[in-house]
Chain A
Amino acid sequence: MKNKLLYFLFLLLPCCGWAQTREMKANEIASFQKSLQQLVEIKTLSADFVQYKHLSFMKKPVESSGKLYLQHPDKLSWAYTAPFQYKMVFRDGKIFIDDQGKKQTIDIGNSQQFEKISQLVTSSMRGGQYDEKEFAVAYFKDGGADMLRLTPKLAGAKRYIKEIVLLFSPEDKQIAEVKLVEPSNDYTRFVLKNRKINTTLDESVFNL
């Protein structure tokens, strides 16, 4: 009897998976795209984030957390507070870094990799700001949440990112999670909490 129950549960597993993530229907895509328009209106964003780095050979992800501030069009402050203190500010074409008091500045022009990342992070947080020339876009429902899968089309981005998955909160339709999948299939998941949209940000968060 116990075995039969186990077999039954095992047979149900794939159904659970399908129930969780499925492609959106045309009317759902239209409705979702409408909700994306409000993200384009995001001028500022502040949030706490938890970053989970998943590697295939590690049982548990490497976790770090911090605070992010975004001000459209080109200011991003990304500060880790645990388990270490490390702050990066992307502004004026430069990256300003404060590593526990040790400060340095990197010209983004000299670091294509950083430039790509900051663009991806900024556009991901604003959800609607993706370019269909750069990404193939697929729409999904993940439980009650809307999910967007962006697959880079350009060779430059493909070298670093296999796909970007954006998960939107069912409650407020804002970005709740960003997942950056690497070509090796290892990935980093950013979970955003305590999101505040279009509040006035103190300019000091973009200074070091």
Chain B
Amino acid sequence: MNPFLTYSFFVLLLLASCGTYRYPNASGIREMAPEEVNSYYIDTARSFVYRAKLQAFRKDVNGSLLIKPLGREGCRVALISDFGQTLFDISIQPNGHELHYAMHDLNKRALVSEIASVFRIMTAQQHPTSALMFDDRAHYYPVYVADDCYYLMKGRKVERITQVKRAKEYVLIYYRDWNTAGVPTEVAVEHRKFPLAIDLVLDEEQSTL
């Protein structure tokens, strides 16, 4: 009896973890020519300063998020508190990150990796070759798929990125508003596994746009 229970448990676990994520109202997936999406943070002549409000593990932190594109495949991202302390300073590449500095209390490997991952999703340009299909004609905007992320488009701009892990939504990035040059002026980050939410408002005066 015991081996049977153990076997059933692992089969159930396997089924649960192998379940596929179904994007709301999507009916299938189609191939398409590569499309360049999420190109907000690729111009190395620019630097972005966002006013940042973080809620992390029931703590509120206010400060600034600085993004400096290093090219088409990477960004340097730093989070500083209002008092001017650097909380994180990380270079993010498609397949890794380099930690330049993390404040002592926050210098934990898993935490730094998670932070790098969130900002990689937010800043990385992608070239999806597939898109979702919708039977519902009311659905107007296309949704492109690249790696484990879904890119909901509004015209040529990404409006929302949904990262999926183990068939569940993991990180959501919402681009809520843009300036006339198409630079995101309001961005919200929502982590579905950890109690982490970040609201960003672009400080156009301090940014180099």
Contact = CB atoms under 8 A, between A and B. Distances in A.
Interface of A: 51, 53, 55, 57-60, 62-64, 80, 83-84, 86, 88, 99, 104, 113, 117, 159-160, 180, 182-184, 186, 188
A62 B86 contact: no
A86 B83 CA distance: 11
Nearest to A63: B206
Given A62-B64, A113-B105, A159-B104, A84 B51 contact: yes
Interface of B: 47, 49, 51, 53, 60, 62, 64, 66, 68, 76, 78, 80, 82-86, 89, 100-101, 103-105, 203, 205-206, 208
Contacts of B86: 55, 182, 184, 186
A88 B63 CA distance: 13
B103 A160 contact: yes
Contacts of A184: 86, 89, 100-101
Contacts of A60: 206, 208
Going nearest first, the 10 A-B pairs with the smallest beta carbon separation are: A188-B84, A184-B101, A159-B104, A53-B84, A57-B76, A57-B68, A186-B86, A62-B64, A83-B203, A62-B206
A128 B80 CA distance: 29
A155 to B, nearest CB: 10
A160 B83 CA distance: 12
Contacts of B64: 53, 62
A64 B62 CA distance: 13
A55 B82 contact: no
